[in-house]
Amino acid sequence: MRRGIAATALVASLALAATACGSGDDGASSDGPLTITWWDTSNATNEAPTYKALVKQFEKANPKIKVKYVNVPFDQAQNKFDTAAGSKGAPDVLRAEVGWTPAFAKKSYLAPLDGTPALADQSKFQPNLLKQARYEGKTYGVPLVTDTLALVYNKALFKKAGIDQPPTTWPDLKKAAAAVKKKTGADGYWGSTQGYYSQPFLYGEGADTVDAAAKKITVRSPAAKKAFTTWQGLFDGPGLHKADSTADAYAHIQDAFTSGKTAAIIQGPWEITNFYQGAAFKDKANLGIAPVPAGSAGKQGAPTGGHNLSVYAGSDQAHQDAAVKFVQFMTSAKSQEQIALKNATLPTRQDAYTARVQADPGIAGYQKVLGVAQPRPELPEYSSLWGPLDSELPKIAGGKESLDEGLGNAESAMAKLVPDFKK
């Protein structure tokens, strides 16, 4: 997952799809290199320059291959690739959010990478991340960056409020929020109404939106209702900011935290560089990072996100071979170290966590919370299940509908996404 969570509605763009032809007129001639196209979905301002630099390094090391770099806005990329792949005009390589990988593999849009040079260092990658790149026993992506959610907090505000350790349960977080408000005047906690950010509450009760193994929708189970009741209770009380259901809610929460107006939020490492740009974290050491609080079952859990590099199955063999070589280069330990140092993102292989990478307190902090990150089930539709929650949770948090009514609506919408699942 990344910034695009809060993006505006998807906009189709046939023009961009037309530029992506993976197996069209870009074959190598007797006197020229073969050209492959890469759709990069990273942030165009903060992250893309690092990837562009790596493309140049790859081309220098591989003069017979040219890479046509295209930065595609994250919030548009899934639909654009789906459209382009369906018409045999997709890019040779896609930077895909981990939830997209099984969905595109199910449609036969991606080439399996098992036994190719792209996975030559398979043992170096974190097993859970490789698991998220698999579908029906085959691997369709190589993990490039990973992420999860954590409780991030302002150490100075917590100290002024007399809080020595980050809260480890949701009730403790409520108490901490009240203390921060009383002692500093700042809000103690500001929660999100987006579906992805509700996952820690579900995991904390041993619940989820669905039981993939049993093929059952569980968003209205007793455990899930308990989770959402806890989530709902964090929008009203001393030091707790009221729910923001506006289109700019994500930016509002982020700005309040980086400016020091809010002491704690739930957020992912894709915002590390933006944290450091805020007035509250000019001293990077002031950024506190802790595992998400535990639920009443005593469990801590956060979703595992990130991005894989996948190869388009519709390209010819020459383009696929070049694409595999490019994926191998981009996901190498050296490349991942460079990406981490420049973009403050988390590597997916242990040998990329060098001393220089771990010197960044943000990366080091998030690396420590990866232990409570849970991989997503092998269900192509899983990521799409947050869509119904994105529609209903703002209404619930804003008092426009009851919890039962909202979860009922979400369940009905999910049933259309996984029609073979029972309620």
Residues 111 and 236 placed together within one structural domain of the fold: no
Residue 215 has pLDDT above 60, yes or no: yes
Q: Is residue 20 assigned to a domain?
A: yes
Same-domain check for residues 178 and 135: no
Mean of per-residue pLDDT scores for the chain: 92
Q: Are residues 25 and 131 in the same domain?
A: yes
Q: Does residue 253 share a domain with residue 135?
A: no
Residue 19 binned pLDDT confidence (cut-offs 50, 70, 90): very low
Report whether pLDDT(106) > 70: yes
Q: Give the H or E element holding residue 193.
A: none
Averaged pLDDT, 157-186 = 98
Is the same domain home to 387 and 345? no
Residue 17 has pLDDT above 50, yes or no: no
The answer, yes or no, to whether residue 21 has pLDDT greater than 60, is: no
Band of pLDDT at residue 30, cut at 50, 70 and 90 = low
Domain that includes residue 359, residue range:
3-148+304-374
**Is it the case that residue 14 has pLDDT exceeding 70?**
no
> Distance between CA atoms of 395 and 417, rounded to whole angstroms?
21
Distance CA 365, CA 384 (A): 29
What's the per-residue H, E or C state across 64-132?
Answer: CEEEEEEECCHHHHHHHHHHHHHCCCCCCEEEEECCHHHHHHHCCCECCCCCCHHHCCHHHECHHHHHC
DSSP code of residue 12: -
For residues 402 and 13, the model is more confident at: 402
Instruction: Return the pLDDT at 88.
Output: 78
Q: Which residue has the tokens 């930077």?
A: 95
Residue 332 sits in a domain of what CATH number? 3.40.190.10
Contact 265, 257 (CB under 8 A): yes
In this structure, is residue 299 part of a structural domain? no
Reduced to 3 states (helix: H, G, I; strand: E, B; else coil), residue 266 is strand
Q: How far apart are the first and last CA of the chain?
A: 27
**Same domain flag for 168 and 218:** yes
- Could you report the per-residue pLDDT of 130-157, keeping only the tens digit for each? 999 999 999 999 999 999 999 999 999 9
Q: Is the residue at 19 inside a domain?
A: yes
Residue 101 maps to a domain? yes
